[in-house]
Amino acid sequence: MDKQMWYREECYQIQGAVFDVYREMGCGFLEAVYQECLGKELLKRKIPFVAQQELKLFYKGEALRQTYIPDFICHDSIIVEIKALSTITRTHKAQVLNYLKATEMRLGLLVNFGCYPKATVERIVL
């Protein structure tokens, strides 16, 4: 299957929730505000998710004390990371890639509520 097609319907659902949050809240809030709003919207839409689930990291098979905590894992298969920045950088994209590597998931959505006139959602595929 084409990488761009993975979880197509699930992504549309998540994007719909993201854009509704942006329409209601607009630009300029902190990430924590958008995270809380998106959690409420995902729940309202009955999109299955876990918020801020701690991910274990390993080095050569040995567990590390350090962990990753993505904003959301939706549908047990899609990492959703929220930002509220004027510009997304390669570092932010690398963060999502690292989450994907840690979970062995294939798809991440990097959501930026800091853009005007609309939120952006970037698909990141491992």
Q: Please determine, for residue 1, whether its predicted confidence score (pLDDT) is greater than 60.
A: no
Residue type, 89: T
Contact in structure between 97 and 32 (CB atoms under 8 Å): no
For range 101-111, the mean pLDDT: 92
3-state secondary structure of 77: coil
Provide the β-strand partners of residue 123.
Answer: 109
Q: Which one-letter DSSP state was computed for residue 71?
A: S
Q: Summarize pLDDT for 65-101 with one digit per residue, the tens.
A: 999 999 999 999 999 999 999 999 999 999 999 999 9
Please state, in angstroms and as integers, the Cα–Cα distance from residue 89 to each residue in 10, 49, 85, following that order: 25, 26, 10
Helix (H) / strand (E) element for 73: namely strand 72-74
Give all domains of the chain, ordered by start, each with its CATH number: 3-125 (3.90.320.10)
| Model pLDDT for residues 33-64, shown as the tens digit of each residue | 999 999 999 999 999 999 999 988 889 989 99
CB 102 within 8 A of CB 57: yes
pLDDT at 4: 54
Task: Compute the distance between CA of residue 94 and CA of residue 76 in angstroms, rounded to an integer.
Answer: 21
Confidence grade of residue 27 (pLDDT, cut at 50, 70, 90): very high
pTM, two decimals, is: 0.91
Q: Which amino acid is at 46?
A: K
